[in-house]
Chains A and B, each alone.
Chain A
């Protein structure tokens, strides 16, 4: 990660002059707008979703505005917010920790325009180099947890559009603590491609999908253990990131997404839930809330087209797929876990996992509910989860870490795996204890 040098008067002065030159034409733009349309003098008032770029509205054709809008969309597609905003932290002010196996912890940097603690002093070249080569401000190297090898698929204009959008965000003074991982100096990027090249043999949709999945979307950062390994292409067969299982998203029918319908995949990626596959939890839920849910359906469809074309990798456990009708008729179990499930979980999820009041509460068929290790399951029972809907607000599950023992949580998890998966769950009290300790450290 990049850290910022101490206050230096000369540089501040220089930045001040630079900012002045950048800002004055901007002010001019806003001033012009007031004259054109006095009703909408506040640029934030206009709804980006309702605008039609084809219209000859002077606001839309203003190049700066067009650039910021493009940057905003790429910002969502890149999921910047998911890593660069800490839990309960200020927007983009950094501080979220990432554990790197056998190395230590790195902390996401402050990417607000604050000159001292944020990216306010980055020149265009430095910003482009940070996102494309992993070499940032004053030549400092970024830890590869920042997916610059993926972002390299974006060209200079696209990267600078993201910068233009970030520059519009409120500056937050937040000095991020130094991580415990040292990064070798210089360009560590093993991706030497120069931005995205279309494959003329494939459809435009596939190419767009490839750009979004491999570029800004950087899906392989979590969903492939071979990402970032020199000489290996990502296989999308899943991985473990920060203790969460990132599932196999290759086209394998059992362990990957091969058996999902296009419609289901599309809904899952844009809403975070679909009946028969459950709901996204943990980092994926965050990524959908902060990023994917803002993308157009056309782009989500393109991502699905590309994901479908990934070669199948049979890796990891397949989810159990016991339908609601069958679960409805199972004999009630008398275990401790079953009683706890009835009392705590069934009031929303129902005994048959159909979900009481919406698809977002459905459990049947989901990997999280049926994989025997219960890794993500324990986490979500302890800390809860949240999905945001642009129209209906937030669907949230409370965490149950308070008031229930490690044994209780393990019993619930094993009951869920047994009931929805017809398998023996392997969740242990020690596992829950460990997860709880990690959660309390946050």
Chain B
């Protein structure tokens, strides 16, 4: 039995300690907004927040989480930064197939929580572990810039 705080709700689940969080989210909880990409922490598609920090849920055993707060893309209702990111995304439309987007968005939100106005280099670094097979990197960066109120475009 593992107790987890997922999207501000405490849940008790009959899963083993070594099950990666991603499987708990998608298969046990039905929270399928978080995506399975590579399964070895290299692509970033499965990114969620653990106490506000972006982590790769595919390679995070639930037994190691304890009472830290888990926020998935479904749990952003009360996040003020999430609304700004949404606005940036609507304006710049950095989405084609969309598979990597939940991960990209979670990473972008975590970055803006840490740094109010990140530089181009800081955005690159924060999102560099996120692979987008459609090659939308530049638009994603522009969308983040819109979210922080920058008007400068690339």
Contacts and interface: CB of A to CB of B under 8 A. Distances in A.
A343 B41 CA distance: 12
Interface of A: 332, 339, 342-344, 346-348, 351, 356-358, 389, 391-393, 395-396, 398
A296 B76 CA distance: 45
B42 A357 contact: no
A391 B17 contact: yes
Nearest to B128: A342
Contacts of A342: 124-125, 128-129
B17 A356 contact: no
A389 B17 CA distance: 11
User: Secondary structure of the A side of the interface?
Assistant: mixed
A346 B129 CA distance: 7
A275 B13 CA distance: 30
A351 B121 CA distance: 13
Nearest to B16: A393
Contacts of A357: 50, 55-56, 59-60, 64
Nearest to B131: A343
Contact of A392 (B17, B50, B121): B17
Interface of B: 17-18, 40-42, 44, 50, 53-56, 59-61, 63-64, 121-122, 124-125, 128-130
A343 B129 contact: yes
Q: Most chain-B Cβ atoms within 10 A of its Cβ — which of A348, A356, A357, A392?
A: A357
Contact of A358 (B64, B128, B129, B130): B64
B40 A396 contact: yes
A348 B41 contact: yes
A25 B59 CA distance: 47
A356 B47 CA distance: 11
Given A357-B55, A357-B59, A398 B50 contact: no
B109 to A, nearest CB: 16
Nearest to B21: A357
Given A347-B42, A357-B59, A392-B63, 14 more contacts: A332-B125, A339-B128, A342-B125, A343-B129, A346-B125, A346-B129, A347-B41, A347-B128, A357-B50, A358-B64, A391-B18, A392-B18, A395-B59, A398-B42
A348 B54 CA distance: 10
A332 B53 CA distance: 20
8 contacts: A342-B129, A347-B56, A347-B128, A348-B129, A356-B56, A389-B61, A393-B61, A398-B40
Contacts of A347: 41-42, 44, 56, 128-130
A363 to B, nearest CB: 15
Given A356-B55, A357-B55, A391-B18, A351 B61 contact: no
A228 B19 CA distance: 45
A395 B41 CA distance: 11
Contacts of A344: 42
B40 A343 contact: no
Contact of A343 (B50, B60, B128): B128
A398 B64 CA distance: 21
A393 B42 CA distance: 19
Nearest to B40: A398
A396 B41 CA distance: 10
Nearest to A398: B40
A334 to B, nearest CB: 8
A356 B18 CA distance: 18
Given A347-B56, A348-B56, A357-B56, A393 B40 contact: no
Contacts of B44: 347
A342 to B, nearest CB: 4
Contacts of A395: 59
A347 B64 CA distance: 18
A339 to B, nearest CB: 8
A391 B19 CA distance: 10
Contacts of A346: 125, 128-129
Contacts of B121: 332
B39 to A, nearest CB: 10
A392 B61 contact: yes
